[in-house]
Structure 1
Amino acid sequence: MKGTQMNTSSTALPGGTWTLGDATVTRFGYGAMQLAGPWVMGPPADRDGALAVLREAVGLGITHIDTSDAYGPRVTNELIREALHPYPESLFIATKVGATRDAQGNWPTARRPEDLRKQVRDNLDSLGVETLDLVNLRMGDAQGTRPGPIAEAFETLAELQREGLIRHLGVSNVTEEQVAEARGIAPIVCVQNMYNLAHRHDDDLVDRLAADGIAYVPYFPLGGFTPLQSETLSRVASRLAATPMSVALAWLLRRSPNILLIPGTSSVAHLRENAAGAGLALSPQDMAELDGIGRP
């Protein structure tokens, strides 16, 4: 259920907007994973603070929130529901399925048709909606992508889409071959993979998706940097009197118009800092130095 009770700011967010399926969303979004407890398990230490972050995100004008019922589990979805339901018409909530949590905090895969149907139902229930805006099928494992067929799992989500439980489909933590396989089954509106200044393995994929009007949603915008790479990033950040995170986010927005950002935080101040930092102006010299970080 969506309503119109919550007002949003008219302040323009960096990057403008992107058409995601049948919705227009801000390219600067918010990832809710960090709102759960340590290791993404259990409730947050500061529940009121977590609710405040979500309300501030919408107040800033963010219309794209990324979550999963596996976070907590259920914790982030229930926080989103408590903070924002009934949801503004403009709010687009993306979730993901394909893994669950065990008592040790691991992420065991769960991609059998019955597993996926249960996860979709759980997301519907915890978010308090009749239809999920976007469901990403997460493949691979906690260590990264893994080759292998995607058809059975993705066909299950396509069936749930035809049943009216899902509006749009996407894929996450996938190889280029898996992207192609999924697109042969049903249209996708986004790919969500690890990608940043230091990890440019998806450069060609980003460009191909942009040409086809498909969003690319990177996670870990500062993950996997070596000391040498960090030195380059820090040098540019120091010259601009900015944080490395701000520079990394600004570079992603400049990299391609189909890149949607979902940086996460459990702090209102950090959320505001990320939103401001992503709008950092980068000169041709800055871009040239930054582009060299992930190049051979």
Structure 2
Amino acid sequence: MHTSPTPLPGGTWTLGDSAVTRFGYGAMQLAGPWVMGPPADHNGALEVLHAVVDGGITHIDTSDAYGPRVTNELIREALHPYPESLFIATKVGANRDAQGGWPTARRPEDLRRQVEGNLKALGVEVLDLVNMRMGDAEGPQPGSLAEAFGTLAELQRDGLIRHLGVSNVTEEQVAEARGIAPIVCVQNMYNLAHRQDDDLIDRLAADGIAYVPFFPLGGFTPLQSEALSAVAARLGATPMSVALAWLLRRSPNILLIPGTSSAAHLRENIAGAGLALSEEDTAELDGIGR
């Protein structure tokens, strides 16, 4: 049995019917460059996944499009049979092309094939959570998700999916999805500098729905702000630590999934997210994205 020597920052949140650690892990960076192909250090990738579970993290975010299949196969190799406490979230809605692009794939037959691919690669009979990813690389785009999300709801009724979520979506699409089937989370881009979902986060919290920000540290362009740097210097911490700690403080329904391909960096992220922010620190940081 894997146990955590110390409680993880942020405590837990009930995701569907499971209590998961608010500090989770995003597996995207375990694949090769541009999220294509195998990692340069196969054993190092397995070490990271062991460190995730040994550190007490119970929420892993992945997708069969990462690699493709690479991260899911690594997760299975490292952790299967899975600890009963482990909750694995995945997402569908895109394929990969030979150039490393992410062409959309949201027809019913595409989504069924992707769900089956996730089941096979992870080695499970039912997926804990499947997020329906909409929009494109530029962000959420308007339009109905009814056909795509309805297909996932059918697969849920078939017993292949336990819980549903949506990703890269507008507020209107969140409402549309909730009218089709219950959702347990929304996964959108959000961080100190990108605060477009502030109101949505608060409404979801009131309804017991998790909000999972991707690119919590800014994505491919790290967060840069004089205010962030000033708070970090005052606390003797890195800007990234402060950014993670701010997210956990922002709302109790925010679940973190920062990714890394290094076990040492994983431990740094955990320590950083546990940073104590004062009211003064928080007020200064709140001003960055407003």
TM-score class normalised by the smaller sequence: over 0.9
Determine the C-alpha separation between the residues in 2 that align with 1:129 and 1:228.
Answer: 37
- Sort the Cα spacing of 1:226 and 1:92 in 2 relative to 1 into closer, same or farther, 3 A: closer
Deviations 1:211-239 (A, max 9, x none): 00000000111227999952211111111
Match of 2:19 in 1: 24
Determine the C-alpha separation between the residues in 1 that align with 2:123 and 2:95.
Answer: 20
Report 1:80-91 matches (<5 A): 80-91=75-86
Match of 1:3 in 2: none
Deviations 1:83-111 (A, max 9, x none): 00000000000000000100000000000
Counterpart residue type for residue 129 of structure 1: V
Q: CA deviation at 1:9?
A: 2.0
Counterpart residue type for residue 16 of structure 1: G
Q: Which of 124, 128, 145 lines up with 1:129 in the alignment?
A: 124
Secondary structure at the aligned position of 1:101 is classed as coil
Q: Is 1:246 the counterpart of 2:241 in the alignment?
A: yes
Match of 1:79 in 2: 74
Q: Is the 8 A contact 2:37 2:67 kept in 1?
A: yes
- Sort the Cα spacing of 1:50 and 1:93 in 2 relative to 1 into closer, same or farther, 3 A: same
- Sort the Cα spacing of 1:154 and 1:268 in 2 relative to 1 into closer, same or farther, 3 A: same
Counterpart residue type for residue 79 of structure 1: L
Match of 2:271 in 1: 276
- List alignment gaps of at least 5 residues for structure 1: 1-5
Q: Is the 8 A contact 1:198 1:225 kept in 2?
A: no
Indicate the percent of aligned positions where both proteins have the same amino acid: 86
Report 1:195-234 matches (<5 A): 195-223=190-218, 230-234=225-229
Match of 2:146 in 1: 151
Q: Which of 167, 180, 184 lines up with 2:162 in the alignment?
A: 167
Q: CA deviation at 1:7?
A: 1.8
TM-score of the superposed pair, with normalisation by structure 1: 0.96
Match of 1:55 in 2: 50
Moved over 6 A (4+): 224-228
Match of 1:118 in 2: 113
Determine the C-alpha separation between the residues in 2 that align with 1:169 and 1:181.
Answer: 13
Q: Alpha carbon RMSD of aligned pairs, Å?
A: 1.4
TM-score of the superposed pair, with normalisation by structure 2: 0.98
Counterpart residue type for residue 232 of structure 2: A
Q: Which of 263, 282, 293 lines up with 2:288 in the alignment?
A: 293
Secondary structure at the aligned position of 2:188 is classed as strand
Match of 1:92 in 2: 87
Determine the C-alpha separation between the residues in 2 that align with 1:153 and 1:169.
Answer: 12
Q: Is the 8 A contact 2:217 2:223 kept in 1?
A: no
Determine the C-alpha separation between the residues in 2 that align with 1:7 and 1:293.
Answer: 39
Determine the C-alpha separation between the residues in 2 that align with 1:216 and 1:204.
Answer: 12
Q: Is the 8 A contact 1:199 1:224 kept in 2?
A: no
Determine the C-alpha separation between the residues in 1 that align with 2:285 and 2:22.
Answer: 21
- List alignment gaps of at least 5 residues for structure 2: none
Counterpart residue type for residue 46 of structure 1: D
Secondary structure at the aligned position of 2:266 is classed as helix
Match of 2:98 in 1: 103
Q: CA deviation at 1:249?
A: 0.4
Determine the C-alpha separation between the residues in 1 that align with 2:106 and 2:40.
Answer: 31
- Sort the Cα spacing of 1:13 and 1:224 in 2 relative to 1 into closer, same or farther, 3 A: closer
Match of 2:261 in 1: 266
